[in-house]
Structure formats: structure tokens, C-alpha cells
Structure 1
Amino acid sequence: MGSSNENEDKPDISEKIQHVRKIRNKHLRMIEFKKQLKLKKKIKKEERKKRRQQGIPKGVPKTLETLREPDQTVIKCEEDKEELQIDVTNSEFGSYFAKSYEPKVLITYSNNPSKKTWSFGRELCRIIPNAFGKLRKHIPIKKVIESCKREEFTDIVVVNENMKMPNGLLVIHLPDGPTANFRLSNVKITPELKRDYKEISTFRPEVILNNFTTRLGNTVASMLAALFHYDPQFKGRRAVTFHNQRDYIFFRHHRYEFKANGTKVGLRELGPRFTLKLRSLQHGTFDSKTGEYEWIISGRRHEMETSRRRFFL
């Protein structure tokens, strides 16, 4: 009886809000509406407190990530992880993870890059160990690939631009691919973050790859990891992070330091800062005409993006 009386005494907020919407005077309607919202928050707070006192565990919040559509390629159990480890060992990145070579990366640009694109490429050269920047000078990508193979480069990064702003990143793993094409956005170089580029030391950074949960995501993460040396120098206290969220890959570059006897960590962002969105993943090296694609996003309004809750990485 007590619980039923309690439910009867509890005000029905939704009905009251519907009643408020019928008030014609705009000023009075807004005052009453704010009162009902305040009351609604108060009731929710009391309910949370009551559940906490009763020891009821917190529910899972409804977000796009938690409501994600099922994907058969998501890595869930230990068996999937073991199978994935075998696939990585037998893939084009097997020799990198076996530490049989040191990465050597060429960073180049579209023809006649603007000042910001040039500065962005130079900062990538400072972040990625053993990276060399060079202008293309109208040389086709295929000829650049053949030249890099002869000079024993392991990867090529091409920074593309549109309207004097960097807008694309082409990553080619040598000698046999794959090739990833990314849309590049939200680029902030070090001066725009009000940081001094001299703070970037020459120590090799740690690489953090976060939230790549599918087989496609693992391939992309392996490509990004293979740009960096597999043996970080922890003395430099530098870390680069590729964080995947809703198929957007956010890049951050930090220097960290421990405080209060190692119980707290302080972070200082060094720059640059940018966001990647995968457009395609191609077997082999770059071939825009006859290349075979492992994954490609469709053209007009992205036909593959049929749902906001469907993610591929």
C-alpha cells in the first residue's frame, strides 16, 4: 500500500509540461517551464540517491557507442584475440612486430604545398622517428614508391591539401602495401596551440592506440603503429595517441611527468592536433585506377553510413 500511495503522490512531470505548453503568455510559460524542469531534476537526483542507498548498480548510459549495431568482425573473446594475433603475424606488418627492421618514413606533399601544409609535414617529421620530408616536384606517386623501395623506405605519408589547408593523408606501407586514404580535418599546428616546437625532444615516443575494436580497425591501427619505432625511449616522456571514437581517429601529442610520488600525472600537449577519417583501405601500394580495395566508403552521402549507430573501426 505504501508504495502505491507513494506513486500516487509523485507528480507526473510529463503531464505538467504538456499543460505548461498550453499557456499562451510566453513569459509565464517560460517561468512555469523552468519550474517543472527544476522539479524533474530534483526527482531524478532523489531517485539516484535512493538507488545508491539500496546498492543497485548503475545502469549503462544510452549513447551511440553503447547502442552500436552488432558487427561480426568485433574482437570480443580470447579466441578472437589469438586468431587476430596469428593474422597480424602473417600480414604485411608481421616483420614490423617481429622487430626485424627499423621504420624509415618519407613524408611528402601535394604539388606546391601551402605554408600551413608545409609546417604540418615538418612537425610530423619531428614526431615520427627516422622520418624525412621532401617535396614531390610534380613526380607521380608511383614513381615516388619505386624510388622509396630502392632507398629502403618502409612507409610513405603524403599530405594533401585543398584551398591551402591540409585535408588528406595517404599512408602507403612498403614494399607490398596496404594503402590507407584518410580525410584530414581540424588541423592545429604547434604555433596555433601556443606551444613552442622546441619542446619536442628527439626521444622516440610511446604510441597509444585506443578503441580499435574490429579487424579493419586493427589493420588501420597496425598501419599507424608501423610509422613509429617499436622501441620507445621512456626517458623522453613523450606519448602520441590515436584514439578512435565513432570511426573518427583523434591524434594528440603529449609530454607527461609524474607528480606527488608517482600518484598523479601531469600532461602538456605539444602539438600538432588533427582528426582522421578513413576513406579507403587498398591492397598493395597506391593504384587509383586498377587497385583492389579491402574497404572503401561509398560516394554520395556515404551510402555505407545507413545508420548513426553503425561503426567500422
Structure 2
Amino acid sequence: MTERQIAPYEKFLLTTSRDPSPRTRSFVRDLTRVIPWSFHFTRGSCSLKDVADELAILGIIRAMIVHERKGNPSRATFYKLVDGELIERDYRVRIKGITLARELNRGRSVFTSESKFRVVNKCNSDFGEQLYTMLSLFFDFNKERELPRIPDLKGIAVYFSDDEEGNIILEFQQIETKEMIGPKIVISDVYLGKKGEAIRSLMKIIGLGSKSKG
């Protein structure tokens, strides 16, 4: 059974900016191996029109593109396919650093049609809530503060945590085995766009979190 046959959620494509470094390519492959129902497209020198055509062939309408600076992943932008054209969404994240799965001696995910994609926010800052909100605009996942104590729970958990510098650390776990898998990502900033900024303002009014970004 293939990923395309078992996907219960809306699928999406992961790729890079043009002519990426080997490290950025490896990072995107790492993400594809731990995020269920994602597909990797080798960008090379392909234009956005080429990416849009690939999305149409796959029957996918969402894409995330990882950009780089000096050979390292630096930010992620998000797109939606509209009338055959890729339209950039009004939100993005800035990547401060990454550690590849092979550098951590970590494996890839195993998932089935029963697997769930869960995001567990352990941050004490409103920056964590902002990132939580932004990703929920793009990905289909179960939002948690702790994993539910359900027998035979299956899927992938993404953990958010604060570091001492005010960044957010993202790490992945295979829920069934509790094994950490995939890359480690350090997020230094998130731009939520107009809709997200309204949410951010509301969060500040109600006093959610103790730190902010941007």
C-alpha cells in the first residue's frame, strides 16, 4: 500500500528553492520521511510553473518551499495551487539552524492509515503559540499540550520547546515506539500574515505567553 493510497488528510508537496545545496536537499528529504502524506519534489532548476505542473499531476494543492542562505536552510514559505498557478500564502518561518537525521543517528517514520499527525506544544512563550497557529493554517494535525493516554496510539508527534535564546526547537517522535526520528529544527521567527497578526494581537490582549517574536 502506497502513501497516496492511505492518505486520510490533504496531501502536500515539499521542495526547495532553485539549485539547492546538498544539505538543503537532505533536509527536505528528512522532512518528507517523517511527515505523513508529504511528497518530495526534486526542484533543481525548475521554475515555480514547473512545480505547479507537478502539483496538478499529483492532485495536490499545497506546497512548502525551503529556501537557503550560504548553503543552509534559512526559511520556509507556503503556497497554494489556484487555477494552475502557485500563490504564496501570507505566512512564513525563519529557520536558524537544523541538524539532519543522519547527524543525530535517527531513522524515518512508519505510518499507516490509522496514524495521526500530532503537534505537542511544550513552549511557555507566545512565540510557540504563534508558530502553532501558523502551522495549523497549513497542516492538518491534532493540537495537543500532552499526548493523550490512548492505548495503541499511532502516528507522528512534533514537539515544540523553548530554548534559552528564545527560539523554538522542533523535534519528531514515532508515537508507538517513543523513538525520536528525523531532523532537529531551530525556528527563530514566524510571520503570520494579516490573519495571523490579528490572532497575535488577541493573544497579547489576553496575556497568553511571556515572550514574543517579531
TM-score normalised to the size of structure 1?
Answer: 0.46
Q: Which residue of 1 aligns with 2:103?
A: 192
Q: Which residue of 2 aligns with 1:201?
A: 110
Residues 35-71 of structure 1 deviation map (CA, whole Å, 9 limit, x = unaligned): xxxxxxxxxxxxxxxxxxxxxxxxxxxxxxxxxxxxx
Q: Give the deviation of 1:312 after TM superposition.
A: 4.0
Pair 1:117 & 2:24 matched: yes
Q: Give the deviation of 1:207 after TM superposition.
A: 1.9
Local SS of the residue matching 1:269: strand
Q: Give the deviation of 1:156 after TM superposition.
A: 1.7
Local SS of the residue matching 1:250: strand
Structure 1 181/256 Cα, relative in aligned 2: closer, same or farther at 3 Å? closer
Query: Which segment is superposed worse, 225-234 or 270-279?
Result: 225-234
Q: Which residue of 2 aligns with 1:243?
A: 161
Residues 269-303 of structure 1 deviation map (CA, whole Å, 9 limit, x = unaligned): 2231011122533359xxxxxxxx959xxxxxxxx
Q: Which residue of 2 aligns with 1:5?
A: none
Indicate if the aligned counterparts of 1:249 and 1:276 stay in contact, CA closer than 8 A: yes
Pair 1:253 & 2:178 matched: no
CA distance in 2, matches of 1:148, 1:271: 24
Local SS of the residue matching 1:191: coil
Counterparts in 2 of 1:77-88, with a 5 A limit? none
Indicate if the aligned counterparts of 1:160 and 1:168 stay in contact, CA closer than 8 A: yes
Structure 1 271/213 Cα, relative in aligned 2: closer, same or farther at 3 Å? same
Indicate if the aligned counterparts of 1:242 and 1:251 stay in contact, CA closer than 8 A: yes
Gaps of 5+ in 1: 1-100, 258-265, 285-292, 296-308
Q: Aligned residues, how many?
A: 181
CA distance in 2, matches of 1:145, 1:283: 25
Indicate if the aligned counterparts of 1:217 and 1:312 stay in contact, CA closer than 8 A: no
Q: Give the deviation of 1:185 after TM superposition.
A: 2.5
Letter in 2 for 1:163: K
Write 1 or 2 for the structure with the bigger share of helix: 1
Higher relative contact order (CA 8 A, sep 6+): 2
Write 1 or 2 for the structure with the bigger share of strand: 2
Local SS of the residue matching 1:223: helix
Tell which structure's C-alpha radius of gyration is larger. 1
Counterparts in 2 of 1:1-313, with a 5 A limit? 102-141=9-48, 144=51, 148=55, 152-172=59-79, 178-195=89-106, 197-198=107-108, 200-203=109-112, 204=115, 205-211=117-123, 214=126, 218=129, 220-225=131-136, 226-230=138-142, 235-236=153-154, 238-244=156-162, 248-255=167-174, 267-283=178-194, 294=197, 311-312=212-213
CA distance in 1, matches of 2:61, 2:162: 24
Q: Which residue of 2 aligns with 1:29?
A: none
Local SS of the residue matching 2:10: coil
Identical aligned residues as a percent? 22
CA distance in 2, matches of 1:186, 1:220: 16
Indicate if the aligned counterparts of 1:128 and 1:228 stay in contact, CA closer than 8 A: no
Q: Give the deviation of 1:193 after TM superposition.
A: 0.5
Structure 1 256/218 Cα, relative in aligned 2: closer, same or farther at 3 Å? closer
Q: Give the deviation of 1:183 after TM superposition.
A: 1.9
Indicate if the aligned counterparts of 2:20 and 2:44 stay in contact, CA closer than 8 A: no
CA distance in 2, matches of 1:247, 1:228: 26
Q: Give the deviation of 1:235 after TM superposition.
A: 4.0
Indicate if the aligned counterparts of 1:107 and 1:133 stay in contact, CA closer than 8 A: yes
Structure 1 146/219 Cα, relative in aligned 2: closer, same or farther at 3 Å? farther
Q: Give the deviation of 1:135 after TM superposition.
A: 2.5
Q: Give the deviation of 1:108 after TM superposition.
A: 0.8
Indicate if the aligned counterparts of 1:108 and 1:133 stay in contact, CA closer than 8 A: yes
Structure 1 283/243 Cα, relative in aligned 2: closer, same or farther at 3 Å? same
Q: Give the deviation of 1:244 after TM superposition.
A: 4.8
Gaps of 5+ in 2: 1-7, 199-209
